[in-house]
Amino acid sequence: MSCCDKSSKCCDPKTDTININDTNTKESSDLKETVKEGYSKIAKQTKKENEYSLCGITGGCSADYSIFAEDYTKLEGYLENADLALGCGVPTSAVKINEGNVVLDLGCGAGNDCFIARSMVGNSGKVIGLDITPEMLKMAWKNTDKTGYNNVEFRFGDIEDMPVSDNVVDVVISNCVLNLVPNKLKAFQEIQRVLKPKGIFSISDIVITKELPEKMRKAAGMYVGCVSGAIIKDEYLKMAQNCGFNTSVIKEKEIKIPEKIMLEYLDEEALKKYVESGTKILSITVVGQKI
């Protein structure tokens, strides 16, 4: 199941290409619009459709297993309607969240990680979800209404310029979202700004070990699908460290993308070269403490 019909420009791997390495204003704006358009359509898909895809984007994968998604169903605070199976980890499990904490979830979607975090902060804490896709926020607000929580708040906002005050957040979480942000350095700078002294982030994300083939890097579908926006793991960690964090990788696993999906972006020869290059796509969970 694709995130859009073939006439749409949001994720046709054969016709829609954008340069994800350009971070000037126009390119950055174009990427964000691509993400919003893609995730607006993902919001209308079922959880099962999203599970068997790349963060909700696929041209028709019928693989009999989940590519990225983790099982949330046994976690306290789990709300089925908020779980769209768009994550690549469980960031709340990698860090201690205390009762009374203020937690900020970047790219909150329908609120899945927010409701898990709310079970940890209790009535005395607060959870803020941030997202740039109105359709996702509508789902999150509806889910909040169902719970009756008055300390879970969802805001429309850009991770590169968060509508959050300085030094007010205890824990920042994010699940398979920073790879979608064009200016990742600005994102880490913003995380550093909003966290309290000694505050902590826990981020599950997609990284790579070597550069991806050009056709994969330029494909909008692969970008929205959480792959072509990924950067090299060492660069990712170095960027966070340079923004004032001590970091450690808590969890790492290789993501094996089915050949059927890969062939939507690469021809047989390019796929062979990619496999021979030894490039790995990794799902990692990184914890960082503000210095």
Q: What is the pLDDT of residue 39?
A: 75
User: Could you tell me the CA-to-CA distances from 212 to 71, 158, 232, 273, 275 in Å, in that order?
Assistant: 28, 26, 9, 11, 11
Buried b (16+ CB within 10 A) or exposed e, 89-128: bbbbbbbebeeebbbbbbbbbbbbbbbbbbebbeeebbbb
- Rounded to whole angstroms, the Cα distance separating 136 from 112 reads 11
This prediction has a pTM of 0.84
Q: For the chain, what are the domain ranges?
A: 25-290
- Rounded to whole angstroms, the Cα distance separating 243 from 235 reads 12
Check: CB of residue 283 under 8 Å from CB of residue 255: yes
Check: CB of residue 111 under 8 Å from CB of residue 144: yes
Torsion over CA of 152, 51, 220 and 14, rounded to 10 degrees? -160
Query: Count of alpha carbons within 13 Å of 20, Cβ hemisphere only?
Result: 30
Check: CB of residue 101 under 8 Å from CB of residue 169: no
Q: What is the pLDDT of residue 12?
A: 35
Q: What is the pLDDT of residue 45?
A: 63
Q: What is the pLDDT of residue 48?
A: 53
- Rounded to whole angstroms, the Cα distance separating 111 from 117 reads 10
Check: CB of residue 53 under 8 Å from CB of residue 61: yes
The structure tokens listed for 154 are: 């969802």
- Rounded to whole angstroms, the Cα distance separating 55 from 223 reads 10
Q: Which residues contact 219 (CB under 8 A, 6 or more apart)?
A: 13, 16, 17, 228, 265
> Tens place of pLDDT for every residue, the chain, 291 residues?
233 332 333 333 333 333 334 446 777 887 788 777 777 777 666 555 545 444 544 444 333 334 577 899 999 999 999 998 888 999 999 999 999 999 999 999 999 999 999 999 999 999 999 999 999 999 999 999 999 999 999 999 999 999 999 999 999 999 999 998 999 999 999 999 999 999 999 999 999 999 988 888 877 656 555 677 899 999 999 999 999 999 999 999 998 888 887 888 889 999 999 999 999 999 999 999 999
Q: What is the pLDDT of residue 258?
A: 81
- Rounded to whole angstroms, the Cα distance separating 219 from 229 reads 10
Q: Which residues contact 256 (CB under 8 A, 6 or more apart)?
A: 67
Is 25-290 a CATH 3.40.50.150 domain? yes
User: Could you tell me the CA-to-CA distances from 199 to 139, 171, 209, 222 in Å, in that order?
Assistant: 29, 6, 28, 33
